[in-house]
């Protein structure tokens, strides 16, 4: 599977594509200090193929590069972060308690 994940800022989401076909997306709301991830969706034809994980990793790597805290209201992104402790430092609640 050759899935490419790119930021589509005009749509406020990361998109995963296989060729021209949209495999999934992870929406975001980005501000100066915070990014909120409210919704992630994977096309049923691509479920179980790592598309959601690719989206989560790209979105979180982008937040890290921008030095943004992450508020994951999307259950998928929140769960993914919980299973990948290397991203725990990005969590909004972790950052806000450290800065207080």
A 10 A CB-CB count for 34 gives 15
Tens digits of residue pLDDT in 35-92: 999 999 999 999 999 999 999 999 999 999 999 999 999 999 999 999 999 999 999 9
Q: Which residues contact 74 (CB under 8 A, 6 or more apart)?
A: 26, 27, 37, 38, 39, 40
- Assigned token pair, 66: 């921008």
Helices (H), ranges, 8-74: 51-65
pTM of the shown model: 0.90
Tens digits of residue pLDDT in 16-38: 999 999 999 999 999 999 999 99
Mind listing the domains of the chain with CATH numbers? 4-99 (3.40.630.30)
């Amino acid at each position: 599977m050759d899935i490419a994940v790119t930021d589509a800022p005009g749509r406020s989401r990361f998109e995963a594509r296989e060729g021209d076909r949209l495999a999934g997306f992870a929406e975001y709301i980005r501000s100066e200090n915070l990014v909120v991830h409210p919704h992630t969706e994977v096309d049923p034809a691509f479920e179980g193929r790592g598309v959601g994980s690719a989206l989560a990793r790209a979105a979180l790597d982008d937040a890290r590069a921008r030095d943004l805290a992450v508020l994951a209201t999307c259950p998928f992104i929140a769960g993914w972060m919980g299973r990948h402790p290397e991203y725990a430092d990005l969590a909004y609640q972790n950052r806000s308690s450290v800065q207080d």
